[in-house]
Structure 1
């Protein structure tokens, strides 16, 4: 495995790209032949969501601001998960300004989507391809 400066690790013996994210008891691993990023985020407290929202793209900030107060943590978590998945896929991580891109929809050359998980979390997948050929979700619970 090789670590790129300010980027994600790459497998030197494979053309396979991968991404990893975890939060508390939830782990997400993505693998693809194209650049890929995954992220899992717990919904924060309302005050934290409102504070962190200020660093996002103006359209994303507006979406959070116009949501009902009780929905803002979930809206923020969804947008933040999409943002981090995309930035991981780019290989920049948070080295790129969070306000630079509006991740509410797909971006040119990228497929972004939310993945279903239990309440209290937001999970996102970003693949460096305008279309997605296949996604397999596997769930493993502690034995």
Structure 2
């Protein structure tokens, strides 16, 4: 199962974000000629962060009223503690932008109901600024 997901994630890295968002239901059918994505497994007890499930992803377009404030938000559901919003970019999280590839991986993680372990720094107003994440099954 992990190999299929990694292969699919690697395929998504070769496409553009708009195509990913429009055709996310078809992503299981992508087969790249070579996958160069590696995921390292860590011990959950060693991480200060919790694993959560992505409930929603919001991306701010350049025409959005929110674009200056942040580039996007991912909402994670943590069992037993509720949901938290993690933001990136803009004035809320200056210098904390995600790459297009990282956003694509978040979209794929959502499509495959993978758990993610977010890493964050505090931003303006105490916002949780997403600085990285790990994927898990």
TM-score by length of 1: 0.28
